[in-house]
Amino acid sequence: MATININKILIANRGEIACRIIRTAQRMGIECVAVYSDADRSAQHVLLADEAWHIGDAPAKESYLRADVILDVAKRSNADAVHPGYGFLSENAEFADACAKNQIKFIGPPKAAIEAMGSKSEAKNIMHKAGVPLVQGYHGEDQSEQRLQQEADKIGYPLLIKATAGGGGKGMRVVESSADFIDALNSCKREAKSSFGDDKVLVEKYLTKPRHVEIQVFADSLNNAVHLFERDCSVQRRHQKVIEEAPAPGLSEDIRDKMGQVAITAARAIGYEGAGTVEFLYDEDGSFYFMEMNTRLQVEHPVTEKITGLDLVEWQITVANGLPLPLSQQQLSINGHAFEARIYAEDPNNNYLPTTGQITHLGLPALNENVRVDSGIVAGDNVSVYYDPMIAKLIVWDKDRTSALARLRGALKDFHVAGLTTNIEFLHQLASHKAFNDADLDTHFLEKHDGDFTLEREQNETEILLAASLQVMMQQSAVPANRTIDADSPWNDHTGWRLNEDNFHVIDFALNDRVISVTAHFRDSNTRCTQAFSFELDGKTYPVSGYVDNNKIHLNIEGHQSVVSYARENNRLVIFRNAANWQLELVDNSVSEDDTKSQANLSAPMPGTVIDVLVKNGDQVEEGQALMVMEAMKMEHTIKAHQSLTVKEVLYQVGDLVDDGAELIVVEENS
Task: Give me the active site residues, please.
Answer: 296
Measured between alpha carbons, how far is residue 611 from residues 239, 597, 605, 614 in Å? 36, 25, 15, 10
Closest CA relative to residue 34, chosen from 73, 65, 87, 60 = 73
| Paired residues of 276 in beta bridges | 217
DSSP three-state, residue 77? coil
DSSP three-state, residue 290? strand
The amino acid present at 345, given as its one-letter code, is A
Determine the Cα–Cα distance for residues 27 and 291; give it in Å rounded to an integer.
36
Q: Do you find a cis peptide bond into 210, omega within 30 degrees of 0?
A: no
Within 342-398, residue ranges assigned H as helices are none
Determine the Cα–Cα distance for residues 263 and 266; give it in Å rounded to an integer.
5
> Looking at residue 501, what DSSP letter applies?
B
Q: What sign does the dihedral 275-280-284-286 (CA atoms) show?
A: negative
Closest CA relative to residue 454, chosen from 438, 433, 437 = 433
Task: Find out whether 52 and 123 touch, Cβ atoms under 8 Å.
Answer: no
CB atoms within 10 A of CB 330: 7
Determine the Cα–Cα distance for residues 656 and 279; give it in Å rounded to an integer.
45
Closest CA relative to residue 230, chosen from 202, 243, 249 = 249
51-56 vs 31-37, strand pairing mode = parallel
Counts for the chain of helices (H) and strands (E), in that order: 16, 39
635-640 vs 626-632, strand pairing mode = antiparallel
DSSP for 391-413 reads: EEEEEEEESSHHHHHHHHHHHHH
Determine the Cα–Cα distance for residues 602 and 629; give it in Å rounded to an integer.
12
Closest CA relative to residue 416, chosen from 214, 242, 574 = 574
Determine the Cα–Cα distance for residues 148 and 142; give it in Å rounded to an integer.
8
Could you report how far apart the first and last alpha carbons of the chain are, in Å?
87
CB atoms within 10 A of CB 210: 22
* Cα angle, residue 44 at apex, residues 41 and 49 outer, rounded to 5°: 90
Closest CA relative to residue 299, chosen from 260, 353, 244, 256 = 244
| Paired residues of 397 in beta bridges | 338
DSSP for 189-208 reads: HHHHHHHHS---EEEEEPPS
